[in-house]
Each structure stands twice: as structure tokens, then as C-alpha cells.
């Protein structure tokens, strides 16, 4: 399955909509439920129709001020840390990126109820950690229903998340309407012929899905991009020069973000070398053939991002090297096959939050490079590890100085 020709053919075919991606996993039900990530057919189409327009570029522009707010919180906390450490701090950046990304997604999803959102998302985080523990993934069906300690903990967290979200929804229904993702999900669920239980489940599951899709992916991308900028000081300086020129001491807005070409090239290159989502998958809805390989109906086809995005036949002999300039003329100028670059997936199920994620990354990185200079700490050990996402196994430590 990992042969490059097969991978290329499959990647092209994923765009032809073999079916929905399969994120389903026996133990991830409590986390994902029946939201956009796991639904099929008409249910998925309905959810996509509600959620995707809320994340189009025009809407994302209105959310940029909240991204700036969360970035400033991070800049202030690093500034204090550096001062207390006497001018240079050795920072484990992963947790900061997670708390930044969690803050942004809570504000976007829950608007003025965002502190409630943070509480909900922190419980979801606990749930995700609990579910990723190996001991929990028993393959024997009957064992999956035994009330072990961790399973009881999962059920408790699941219930708590459900009732916290429903409490915010109830307050919303009694108060003024708001302009955030939760409001759109509530309206999308209300304008259907769902019964009450189904409506509640639709709202809760889609809140969970937005969190799962958008929180850690963006945090991990920011962490990898900082690692690459720290290892390539000339690119760090090029990005800084660009940001300082464009922003001229103002906070980044939509127009400025659009002009940040060098920063875009760096983020694209980071997503090429370290795509946070390791696999894009599709279920074959009918018997299919890729080259010499028969794929029977019902088989889940995996496209491995790293094989595709670092294939020298497509990207050239320097495919494994950090060279953001390859994106100077966009994705089509960087590689021979248009679908060989797909950190956000392809086709009708392409990441609904890609504009949101790009804006978030650009604003955060623009504020970091214009306030700090940084290099890799001697503590850093390079070890990309594949779990649900491709993550730095030991995290990323940077030596950071205020400019």
C-alpha cells in the first residue's frame, strides 16, 4: 500500500469522492459521536452545509481579532517568563501552543460564553487522553462494555461535557442570539425535523468535532513551524522582516495577513514536511482498481501524507529538505501533481477549517517573530512520532529572547 505509484493514484482518486473519510474507531465514540467527522451521506451533507460556510474566509476575517487577542496573551506570558529568567528562557512550547489554540477555538465556538467553552474543552481533552491510553483499546467486544475504572471515568466525562454544552445552549435560547459557531450549530439543528434527543446530540457532537478537528492540529502545526524557524535562522529573519514591514507596529488584520507571502511559504513547507494529520482515508463504496491493485467495496483506503508529500519523484531530489521557496509560485509551482500536497485533505470532505487554521497560524507566528528571536534549545531531541497526529515525541524546547 505504501508504494509511491499506488499512493499517487489513490491520492488522485480520493478527490473523486470514494466516500466519507473513516475516522470511526470503536473506542472514539464518546469523543466524536455522530458529528461531521464521523457521519455519512445526508447527515454529513447537512452538517457540512451548516458548518463549512461559517468557516469561509469572509467569516474568518471577523474572527481575526479574537486570534490576535489569544496571541497577545501568549506574547505577554513569554515576555514575563523571559524577564524572570534573566533575558533568555528555555521554553517547552507545546503546551503554550495548545493553550493558545484552545483559547482561539473556545472564543470562536462559544463567543461570550468562552470561559464555559474552555471548561468544556478541557474536559474533552481529559477524555481524549483517557481514550488514547493503550490499556483501553480492547479488541474483544464484550470487554469494551465492562465498567472498568477508566471506562467509568469516560462515561462520567462524557456526561459532564454533554450537560455543560446543553447548559450553554439553554442559556442561549433564553437570552440574545450570538454570532458564533455554537449559534450556527444550534440553528442548524433547530431547522430540521429532529426530535429533542437527536437535536441535542447533533449540537453536542458537532461542538466536540470542531474541537477535535481544530484544536490539536493547529497547535501541532504551530509547534513544528516554530521548530523549523528556530533551525533556519535566515528564514526566521526573512519572516520577521516581512511582518515588520507589513504590520508597521500595528496588530495584524485580514489585509496584512493576506500580504504575508514569506510566512505563508514557511507554513506550507512545514505542513508538507510535518503534516499533522498523517492519513487521509476513504471507504470504497464500490469495487475499484488502482493500477494493478483491486480494492473491493467496503475497504478503507489510506493515503499516507508523508510518503506523498516527500516523494522525490514529485517534489524533486531535495524533497526531504526545508525549502519554503519551492512554494514561491504556489502549490502548483512546487510539485508535479496537484493532489500531491494535501495537508488539509482533498475533495468534498476537505478540511472545513483550513482558512481558519491558516489565519490563526499566521497571526500567532507574526506576533511571535516580531516580539522574540529564538533558537533550538540543547534539550530538543528530534523524533517525529505518529499517533492520532504527527507530533514531536519529546516536544519542542526553544531558547527565546525578547527583541
Q: How far apart are CA 345 and CA 354, in angstroms?
A: 10
Q: Is 88 in the site for ligand HEM (CB under 6 A)?
A: no
Among 51, 226, 340, 369, indicate the residue that binds ligand HEM (CB under 6 A). 51
274, 278, 282, 288 alpha-carbon torsion, rounded to 10°: 80
CA distances from 181 to 104, 106, 304 (A): 12, 10, 31
CB 60 to ligand HEM: min, Å: 9
> By C-beta, is 151 or 356 nearer to ligand HEM?
356
Q: Is 11 in the site for ligand HEM (CB under 6 A)?
A: no
CB 91 to ligand HEM: min, Å: 21
Q: Is 214 in the site for ligand HEM (CB under 6 A)?
A: yes
CB 298 to ligand HEM: min, Å: 18
Q: Is 243 in the site for ligand HEM (CB under 6 A)?
A: no
> By C-beta, is 56 or 155 nearer to ligand HEM?
56
Residues 171 to 210: which contact ligand HEM by CB under 6 A? 210
Among 184, 203, 352, 367, indicate the residue that binds ligand HEM (CB under 6 A). 352
Q: How far apart are CA 188 and CA 50, in angstroms?
A: 6
Q: Is 345 in the site for ligand HEM (CB under 6 A)?
A: yes
Count of CB atoms situated within 10 Å of the CB of 53: 12
> By C-beta, is 162 or 282 nearer to ligand HEM?
282
Confirm whether residue 351 is marked as ligand binding.
yes
Among 10, 186, 280, 365, indicate the residue that binds ligand HEM (CB under 6 A). 280
Please report, as ranges, the residues that interact with ligand HEM according to CB under 6 A.
Answer: 21, 36-37, 48, 51, 55, 210, 213-214, 217-218, 221, 276-277, 280, 343-347, 349-353, 356-357
Amino acid at each position: 500500500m505504501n508504494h509511491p505509484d499506488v499512493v499517487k493514484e489513490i491520492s488522485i482518486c480520493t478527490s473523486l469522492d470514494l466516500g466519507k473519510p473513516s475516522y470511526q474507531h470503536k473506542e472514539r465514540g464518546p469523543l466524536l459521536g455522530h458529528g461531521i467527522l464521523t457521519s455519512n451521506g445526508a447527515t454529513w451533507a447537512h452538517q457540512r452545509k451548516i458548518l463549512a460556510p461559517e468557516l469561509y474566509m469572509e467569516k474568518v476575517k471577523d474572527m481575526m481579532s479574537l486570534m490576535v487577542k489569544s496571541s497577545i496573551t501568549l506574547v505577554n506570558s513569554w515576555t514575563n517568563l523571559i524577564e524572570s529568567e534573566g533575558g533568555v528562557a528555555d521554553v517547552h512550547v507545546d503546551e503554550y501552543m495548545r493553550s493558545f489554540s484552545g483559547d482561539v477555538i473556545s472564543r470562536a465556538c462559544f463567543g461570550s460564553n468562552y470561559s464555559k467553552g474552555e471548561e468544556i474543552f478541557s474536559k474533552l481533552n481529559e477524555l481524549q487522553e483517557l481514550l488514547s491510553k493503550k490499556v483501553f483499546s480492547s479488541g474483544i467486544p464484550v470487554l469494551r462494555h465492562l465498567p472498568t475504572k477508566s471506562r467509568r471515568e469516560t462515561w462520567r466525562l462524557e456526561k459532564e461535557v454533554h450537560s455543560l454544552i446543553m447548559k450553554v445552549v439553554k442559556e442561549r435560547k433564553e437570552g440574545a442570539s450570538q454570532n458564533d459557531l455554537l449559534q450556527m450549530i444550534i440553528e442548524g439543528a433547530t431547522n430540521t425535523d429532529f426530535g429533542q434527543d437527536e437535536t441535542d446530540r447533533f449540537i453536542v457532537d458537532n461542538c466536540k468535532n470542531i474541537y477535535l478537528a481544530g484544536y490539536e492540529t493547529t497547535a501541532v502545526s504551530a509547534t513544528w513551524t516554530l521548530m523549523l524557524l528556530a533551525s533556519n535562522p535566515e528564514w526566521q529573519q526573512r519572516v520577521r522582516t516581512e511582518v515588520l514591514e507589513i504590520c508597521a507596529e500595528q496588530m495584524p488584520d485580514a489585509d496584512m495577513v493576506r500580504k504575508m507571502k514569506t510566512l505563508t511559504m514557511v507554513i506550507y513547507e512545514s505542513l508538507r514536511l510535518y503534516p499533522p494529520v498523517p492519513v487521509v482515508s476513504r471507504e470504497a463504496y464500490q469495487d475499484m482498481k488502482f493500477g494493478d491493485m483491486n480494492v473491493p467495496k467496503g475497504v478503507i483506503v489510506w493515503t499516507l501524507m508523508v510518503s506523498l508529500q516527500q516523494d522525490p519523484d514529485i517534489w524533486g531530489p531535495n524533497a526531504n529538505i526545508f525549502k519554503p521557496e519551492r512554494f514561491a509560485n504556489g502549490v502548483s509551482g512546487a510539485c508535479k501533481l496537484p493532489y500531491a500536497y494535501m495537508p488539509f485533505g482533498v475533495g468534498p470532505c476537505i478540511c472545513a477549517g483550513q482558512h481558519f487554521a491558516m489565519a490563526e497560524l499566521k497571526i500567532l507566528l507574526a506576533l511571535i517573530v516580531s516580539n522574540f528571536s529564538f533558537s533550538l534549545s540543547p534539550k530538543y531531541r528530534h523524533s517525529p512520532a505518529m499517533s492520532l497526529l504527527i507530533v514531536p515525541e519529546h516536544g519542542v524546547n526553544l531558547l527565546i529572547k525578547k527583541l
